[in-house]
Structure 1
Amino acid sequence: MNAKPSTTPPGAPQAVARPIRTAASLILVRDSARGMEVLLLRRAEKADDQNSGASVFPGGVVDTHDRSLHTMCKGLDDVAASARLGIPDGGLDYYAAAVRECFEEAGVLFASGIDGALVELDRLPAGRLEAMRHAAEQGTDALLAMCEPQGWLLAVDRLAYFSHWLTPPGMLRRFDTRFFISEMPAAQDVKPDGREIVAHMWLKPAEAVDPARGLKLMNVTRRTLEQLAGWDSAAHCLAHARALTGIPLNMPRLADGPEGRRPVNIEEAAYAEIGRLDPEGRGDARYALEAGLATQLSPRIRRMAGDEESPHSYFVGGDAGQWALIDPAPSGEAQAGAAPGPVRWLLSTAARTEQAAAALEQLRSSAWPDATVLWPGAGEMLDLGGATLRTLQAGPPEDGAAARQFLLAEERFLFTGTAQSPAVPAGDEVEWIAPASGFIVRSS
């Protein structure tokens, strides 16, 4: 097992903080003979745009003037909108911005006439529609001036709140975006503005994410399309959206790995570890652990990733610069080169048997001749010099011997070793669990 370079340790220089802008996006769906389709707009190519050329849903930044549209919103006030979004106030700004951006980018307007029905823009003379579109593109106040004389109200009650995403730390531009969803209004056609948006397409969600289609999709767009692929009709999709409660914030994190740097989503195994090691979004944490990869989990802990036949090994040390090695790999020579300092103790989470004890002693003599092999019992402490390892019994004894876990008290780190279902101590003694394989996780 060859040691590989470690990731940047916690405490490395922090990335420059990026301002976060609030935004709103509107997902439009419709039924067709082929099933439910979703509208995607292709952004223009721009050198300074991280989403240049991407296929996206209509949307954009919430404007400070969007609050002036509150009086024009139908069926929803700011109190109800804010409660739905889980914020103190200003929730209606997002709904209004979603409607405004959809009209500016796609020419689709969610507005109701005096009779309460959605306006039928296709019945308007072409010249009048273009003039209205041009006026609305001048800003929020222009949209207000366009709707008021005709008695139109923004039909925000047709929008269902769908999801909440925050751009990962480390990105050049970060957006805190609320996504809404609605069915495409009848008697309206999509008309891209030709500047920000250069093309549009209606696709089944599964078609849009198919690599053969070749669309450039942002992570949030791809994840949303994958979710939408689960519904066969617009009615079923919207019924689901309107029934949602407690919509969580999704904030991916950038990480590196065999496929290059990419966003890691909240449900992926590596997510919690990436958040601990790289909260600033440098992107140097990992979403895959190759055998032999050394990772500095904290100033006191370094992990050597195991392979299919051996668990992870953990170097654990205190302020004195002497280290304990928990579960050393059978080929200890490679690990010796990755040790952060002198290894004084060898520990094992396995049950102490004659075979296990002989194997660990043989490894000590060949790779760690200056170390001492310890088999502490439950409750025993090991002073690392400024840090303490406490031994816990991992489960009931088997054949007279019991597996063990080790708790680094100062960092509330529990090393579980081969235990399949670790018995986590009650209370708040454990914050992080370091398993035999995979990534560290927060204690539930």
Structure 2
Amino acid sequence: MNAPSPTTTPRPIRTAATLILLRDGADGMEVLLLRRADKTDDQNSGACVFPGGVVDTHDRSLHRMCRGLDDRRASERLGVAEGGLDYYAAAVRECFEEAGVLFASDAGDRLVALDQLPPGRLAAMRHAAEQGTDALLALCEAEGWQLAVDRLAYFSHWLTPPGMPRRFDTRFFVAQMPPGQRVQPDGRETVEHLWLRPAEAASARRGLKLMNVTRRTLEQLAGFARADECMAYARALARMPLNMPRLADGPGGRRAVNIDEAAYEEIGLVDPDGTGHGGRARYALSPGLATQLSARIRRVAGDGGDAGPHSYFVGSEEGPLALIDPAPPGSAAADALRAAAPGPVRWLLSTAPRTPAAAEALTHWQSAWPGASAAWPAPRESIALGGATLKVVPGAEGAPRQFLLAEERTLFTGTADPAPGTGAEWIAPARGFLFRASRAQP
């Protein structure tokens, strides 16, 4: 299916790494959050985040100071051709710069206890490391330390939604808080730290300002009772899916829609570039809302909103249209249906079994479009539309009809069980959002 989209300049994507610190508290596992400083030009001003930041081009120079992991193995773990160790090194560096916690080992493979250092010396080390990657490299060489990247476990992969002013391809790692160290926000980028149970941190009652990725990660972390359980889970992960939210509009304004939400696939279809497309990308459907899903398909949501039942205009403005499952007479969506028609309707079709009530519902709409035919085409029959072809999908005797828009491989169905073997790529259901046919397959 081809949804029209304007030409846009792709936004650059920067690579980043985040380190989620864990510890066991009296009531279960806790996670470290840092509160960002308040800044007028920062949309995430005051938000609570995990330590992390952009991968620096100089992070590759830290490879020789990394213990227990080389670039080949790190790259295999992250699924990149090379440079995987850059992310591990950046996560360690950013954690030290922002939180004052350093994952480094001495010659005996013991994590360094920074609290045992004189305060002035620690402050000088911290200040030096904040000047850049080369300073951290010099620090480790002077102290005889190596970065303990082997203490980090790869946890998740997130990509900022298209349409955002800044986009980041971020790898998230988890690690247990090293003993003999204390969290000390840098006072510039981060001004406060919190150790909270993930469920508490994500709770609306706590009132923390959280980015979508932070909240979703906290919700995932809430499933672990102890830090070692979370670490074991992360180390055992065989496949790491990419989480790329998509922006869409709805009753609560524009927000990020996550991959497990019902509207996710449709949003990617109608707004692949994240440009907004005049509000066509929606995470909720209001009664009577008309949405141009592609050049050949316009949906009018039923009185139930997301719950439908929906009506679909199929065809193009250059030729006659088919109206599939027109809204019941007297419904709120019926008025919207008349106004939403992109052109003259030639065929009135229904996915319902042919009953007197279903036939009457189609016949009613013939008055709205003189010359329209209330049709009950036979299985495998084709209907020629303006620049499109609808094929009637055969089913069991008396079963609901389904129609395949051949050019866009989209199946219109009134049932929750689409007919198999149609070659459909997309499912246009009577209720809910468009979704890929592969999701309906067992």
Fold match by TM threshold 0.5: yes
CA contact under 8 A between 1:310 and 1:329: conserved in structure 2?
A: no
One-letter amino acid matched to 2:419: A
CA contact under 8 A between 2:317 and 2:342: conserved in structure 1?
A: no
Q: Could you tell me the percent identity over the aligned residues?
A: 70
CA contact under 8 A between 2:289 and 2:336: conserved in structure 1?
A: no
- CA-CA distance at 1:350 after TM superposition: 1.1
Alignment match, 1:201: 194
- CA-CA distance at 1:46 after TM superposition: 1.8
Alignment match, 1:420: 416
Alignment match, 1:3: none
- CA-CA distance at 1:364 after TM superposition: 1.9
Alignment match, 2:401: 404
CA contact under 8 A between 2:310 and 2:325: conserved in structure 1?
A: yes
Are 1:271 and 2:276 an aligned pair? no
CA contact under 8 A between 1:59 and 1:98: conserved in structure 2?
A: yes
1:65 aligned residue (58, 64, 83): 58
Alignment match, 1:293: 289
Alignment match, 1:336: 338
Alignment match, 2:366: 364
Alignment match, 1:374: 375
Question: Alignment partner of 1:403: what SS?
Answer: coil
**Could you say what the CA RMSD is over the residues aligned between the two structures, in angstroms?**
1.5
CA contact under 8 A between 1:164 and 1:247: conserved in structure 2?
A: yes
CA contact under 8 A between 2:300 and 2:336: conserved in structure 1?
A: no
CA contact under 8 A between 1:228 and 1:237: conserved in structure 2?
A: yes
**Aligned ranges for residues 70-149 of structure 1 at < 5 Å?**
70-149=63-142
- CA-CA distance at 1:12 after TM superposition: 4.2
Deviations 1:199-251 (A, max 9, x none): 11101111111112211100000000001111111111111111111111100
- CA-CA distance at 1:369 after TM superposition: 2.9
Greater displacement, 262-271 / 27-36: 27-36
- CA-CA distance at 1:370 after TM superposition: 2.7
- CA-CA distance at 1:310 after TM superposition: 5.8
CA contact under 8 A between 2:344 and 2:369: conserved in structure 1?
A: no
Q: State how far apart, in whole Å, the 1-side matches of 2:202 and 2:381 are.
A: 55
Q: State how far apart, in whole Å, the 1-side matches of 2:64 and 2:360 are.
A: 79
One-letter amino acid matched to 1:438: G
Query: TM-score under structure 2 normalisation?
Result: 0.94
One-letter amino acid matched to 2:257: V
- CA-CA distance at 1:53 after TM superposition: 1.2
One-letter amino acid matched to 2:291: T
Deviations 1:39-74 (A, max 9, x none): 000111122222211100000000000000000000
Alignment match, 1:353: 355
Q: State how far apart, in whole Å, the 1-side matches of 2:81 and 2:248 are.
A: 33
- CA-CA distance at 1:396 after TM superposition: 1.9
**Structure 1: 5+ residue stretches without partners:** 1-8
Deviations 1:345-389 (A, max 9, x none): 111111112332233213323x33331111101100101132110
- CA-CA distance at 1:321 after TM superposition: 3.0
**Structure 2: 5+ residue stretches without partners:** none
Q: State how far apart, in whole Å, the 2-side matches of 1:47 and 1:17 are.
A: 26
Q: State how far apart, in whole Å, the 2-side matches of 1:83 and 1:218 are.
A: 29
Alignment match, 1:430: 424
CA contact under 8 A between 2:319 and 2:387: conserved in structure 1?
A: no
Deviations 1:385-430 (A, max 9, x none): 321100012x422xxx33211111011111012x22111325xx31
CA contact under 8 A between 2:321 and 2:386: conserved in structure 1?
A: no
Question: Alignment partner of 2:231: what SS?
Answer: helix
- CA-CA distance at 1:33 after TM superposition: 1.1
CA contact under 8 A between 1:364 and 1:371: conserved in structure 2?
A: yes
- CA-CA distance at 1:330 after TM superposition: 1.3
Q: State how far apart, in whole Å, the 1-side matches of 2:78 and 2:153 are.
A: 11
Deviations 1:108-167 (A, max 9, x none): 000000111000000000111001000000100000000102110000000000000000
Deviations 1:277-318 (A, max 9, x none): 111112431000111110001111100011249621000014
Q: State how far apart, in whole Å, the 2-side matches of 1:22 and 1:199 are.
A: 25
One-letter amino acid matched to 2:369: W
Structure 1's consecutive aligned runs of 4 or more residues displaced over 4 angstroms after TM superposition are: none
Deviations 1:153-186 (A, max 9, x none): 0000000000000001111111000000000000
Query: TM-score under structure 1 normalisation?
Result: 0.94
Higher RCO (C-alpha under 8 Å, 6+ residues apart)? 1
